[in-house]
Chains A and B, each alone.
Chain A
Amino acid sequence: MKTTRLWASAAAATLVLGIGSAMAGNAPGVSDTEIKIGNTNPYSGPASSYGTIGKSIGACWNKVNADGGINGRKINWISYDDGYSPPKTKEQVRKLVESDEVAFTFQTLGTPTNSAIHQYMNKKKVPHLFVATGATKWGNPKEFPWTIGWQPNYQTVGAIFGNYILQNHPNGKVAILNQNDDYGKDYVIGMKRAMGDKFDKMVVKTETYEVTDPTVDSQIVSLANSGADIFVNISIPKFAAQAIKKMAAIGWKPVHLLNDVAASVASTYKPAGIENAIGIISVDFYKDPNDPEWKNDAETAAWNDFMDKYYPDGDKLNKMNAYGWAVCHTMKAVLEQAGNDLSRENIMKQAANLKEVKIPMLLPGMFVDTSPTDFYPLEQMQMMKFDGKRNVRFGPLISAETE
């Protein structure tokens, strides 16, 4: 008898909770003075270098709050460490949603980590906004209407490289170096998509590396030995710099296509040796604040001021801090657009209705653009070539629409 009552009260409790969260009106975590936003980032562990994104976004909210908030509401940014471990992400995000009662999550970082909460967020109908990963699967509004990505996806970049090779070096021999995880593999998938059956004919050698590998010297030697005259380099700055240096040391001089992740004068080319990096072709969608190209740019100056004031310990050489600034402004635009209707439905709706919104630090001419059927906010990029001082952009903004 006693147990039955207990079961019943437990059932009633679940029911009440269920109704509570489904009530209309503002989302949980929204009051007249505050909006609670949840986030996870790897602040510890081997992926902790990405943590600066979460830190710079936190600093950005500090600035937004100091400037009066959004429609009078201050942002309460709750960012937890997940150490890049999917089970921990699940725990932290459930804590954010069920215990801290955030209105939504924003810029949760990593592909495997976001995969772990993908189902959960959509079942719970909590906006899972502008995730910090370039996987393709975040833009699927039919099956996952509560999840949206932000940056141009990895496959797009891969496709841009694929098209470039087809147009400019149709008879080239291609060598690829990629990180052995979803990020590295997605670029290659994008290249395959763009090059079709030419891919197998033109690619003569593929090598991979693990993030824990001390060096990629051995891979570079193998790739150079393959006789390739085009090198597609899909690696993070540390390994990109090692590769550039090693190529110079062994005298391999192919056409070098470097992915956006490492396309930075300060954090890749300088450590690798500027003279070794001349001629590298890369692609990007936002301004590298250390590139002399943007020395007199007003947006870059504003970013510099922000870094000095709100994130003085942050490393200005790290362009991820500019990324954080840009994505923070995208979120700000959504909340401004949502006005005073801060229900989860409306926040999601506004995130999916950004019409050519101008965001600081994006390349000139670029916009954030979404619609209820287009969950890819950024799809354009521009190619550039390093001339020994700066990355000189060439050609138009390219968009490789993801089908």
Chain B
Amino acid sequence: MDNVRNHRSNPAEKFELFGVQLPKLRMMLLLIGIALALFLPLVVANFAVFQMTQVLVYAIAVLGLNLLTGYNGQFSLGHSAFYALGAYTAAIMIDRYEIAYYWTIIPAGLICFVGGFLFGLPALRLEGLYLALATFALAVAMPQLLRYEHFEAFTGGVQGIDVFKPDSPIPGLSADRWLYYFVLFWGVLLIIGAWNLVRGRTGRAMIAIRDNPIAARTMGINTALYKSVTFGVSGLYTGIAGALGAMVAEFVAPDSFTFFLSVWFLVGMVVGGLASIPAAIAGGIFILYMPNISESVIGVFFGNDPSAKALIWVAFGLFLIFTVYVVPNGLAGLVRRFVIRYAIRRGD
């Protein structure tokens, strides 16, 4: 077995960028990323830690969507509903049943897995825009269901539910930093999971279905099962993000989970790049910071002219169009092109 592996050496090793072998370069970048993720929160202020935590939460949700769209080719505008489901599961468990916060993540994920799987079954028959409409319906219906008066005993109705931020068990570590590491733990776990998933048998099946469903079926892949399972896994990721998001925001309400949240996930995914795991983090960063940057830009240009506040979305929209111009295949696509363009093949 070992022999075989040695024999088929990784072709990427033959290429180098900036004088470093590609696999090594990737490993170096990964280590830098891990170091930043671990130590940066210790030196920045609590508020910045809080923002980084939110980036991670959004990144997990975008990753969930990316598994579905990027790897499996199914389109969804309904992920705000899974995010809401996860968030409410955690909030209800903590608030109504006084269960410790760390026990709520897995149930939230599982409920969303089941929800995603069940939704995936009928969605099998739908493609493209029709699937978009079905998922869109899910996203639009969710806030209405959360407000529905007969569920009020559970959901808190229009008033929502307060979730208290967990205290840090480590003395000297602020609650914000603790929550960050808690979210980071789940983020890393889910990223490793996704990485294994897309590289294994399942992942190849998912990608085959995306690229050519008919050929995939001919090869004996159970497309129906794989598509539904992918929907479930995607829901699981987004649901866990929702549960973590509820703890970060310390509050859930129907207004937190409007259809627009799905739109932001979609934007984050496309800007980051399809079918790429690191792209999810770029997407999370974009979702969180870009509106703030747009707001600052308007502030810089118009000072304290009150009317200019209405232009924030104009700025954001222009940034978005500009981003698509510069990186039509997302940031991940840009990196890929950069590598292909500049990597140098070493002589054998």
Contacts and interface: CB of A to CB of B under 8 A. Distances in A.
B45 A99 contact: yes
B174 A181 contact: no
Contacts of A98: 45-47
Nearest to A311: B306
Given A8-B172, A10-B177, A95-B47, A55 B295 contact: no
A87 B54 contact: yes
A360 interface: no
B159 to A, nearest CB: 6
B256 A311 contact: no
Interface string B123-150: 0000000000000000010001001000
Interface stretch (A113-121, A164-172, A284-292, A340-348): A113-121
A94 interface: yes
Nearest to A85: B256
Interface in B289-348: 291, 295, 304, 306-307, 309-310, 312-313, 316
A181 B309 contact: no
Interface residues on A, range: 35 or more
Contacts of A58: 304, 306, 309
Contacts of B173: 7, 10-11, 14
Given A55-B309, A62-B304, A116-B250, A84 B255 contact: yes
A401 B307 CA distance: 37
A14 B173 CA distance: 8
A333 to B, nearest CB: 21
A14 B20 CA distance: 40
Interface in A66-125: 77, 79-81, 83-88, 90-91, 94-95, 98-99, 110-113, 115-116, 118-120
B160 A115 contact: yes
Which residue, of B39, B164, B245, B250, has the highest number of chain A Cβ atoms within 10 A? Answer: B250
Contact of A119 (B172, B250, B291): B250
A10 B170 CA distance: 12
Nearest to A15: B172
A87 B245 contact: yes
B260 interface: yes
Nearest to A80: B295
B313 A44 contact: yes
B15 interface: no
A contacts with B: majority SS: helix
A59 B45 CA distance: 32
A297 interface: no
A310 B305 CA distance: 9
B342 to A, nearest CB: 37
B312 A44 contact: yes
A373 interface: no
A48 B261 CA distance: 16
Contacts of A80: 295
A81 B306 contact: no
A402 to B, nearest CB: 17
B157 to A, nearest CB: 7
B42 interface: yes
Given A86-B253, A311-B307, A10 B42 contact: yes
Contact of A81 (B158, B258, B291): B291
B307 A55 contact: yes
A91 B50 contact: yes
Which residue, of A116, A120, A185, has the highest number of chain B Cβ atoms within 10 A? Answer: A116
A116 B253 contact: yes
Interface string B56-81: 00000000000000000000000000
B306 A55 contact: yes
Nearest to B255: A112
Nearest to B177: A10
B160 A81 contact: no
B157 A185 contact: yes
A119 B164 contact: yes
Interface in A159-199: 180-182, 185
B249 interface: yes
B306 A181 contact: no
A81 B147 contact: no
Nearest to B256: A86
Contacts of B307: 55, 311, 313-314
B162 interface: yes
Nearest to B147: A180
B42 A87 contact: no
Interface string A1-17: 00000111011001001
B296 to A, nearest CB: 10
Contact of A112 (B253, B260, B288, B309): B253
Given A8-B172, A87-B248, A99-B45, A81 B304 contact: no
Interface in B167-219: 170-174, 177
A77 B304 contact: yes
B144 to A, nearest CB: 7
B21 interface: no
A108 to B, nearest CB: 14
Contacts of A119: 162, 164, 250-251
B252 to A, nearest CB: 8
Nearest to B260: A45
Contacts of A84: 255
A94 B309 contact: no
A51 interface: yes
Contact of A314 (B46, B140, B174, B306): B306
A184 to B, nearest CB: 8
B309 A54 contact: yes
Contacts of A99: 45, 47
A210 interface: yes
A43 interface: yes
Contacts of B140: 212
A311 B304 CA distance: 11
A90 B255 contact: no
Given A99-B45, A112-B256, A185-B158, 16 more contacts: A11-B171, A44-B312, A54-B309, A55-B309, A84-B255, A90-B249, A91-B50, A111-B159, A113-B255, A116-B253, A116-B256, A119-B250, A119-B251, A120-B250, A210-B144, A313-B306
26 contacts: A6-B39, A10-B177, A43-B312, A46-B260, A54-B309, A55-B306, A56-B306, A58-B309, A79-B309, A80-B295, A81-B295, A85-B256, A86-B251, A87-B54, A90-B251, A112-B256, A115-B159, A116-B251, A119-B162, A119-B251, A120-B250, A180-B147, A181-B158, A182-B159, A185-B158, A310-B306
CB-CB nearest 4 A-B residue pairs: A11-B172, A55-B306, A313-B307, A98-B47
Interface of A: 6-8, 10-11, 14, 17, 41, 43-46, 48, 51, 54-56, 58-59, 62, 77, 79-81, 83-88, 90-91, 94-95, 98-99, 110-113, 115-116, 118-120, 180-182, 185, 210, 212, 310-311, 313-314
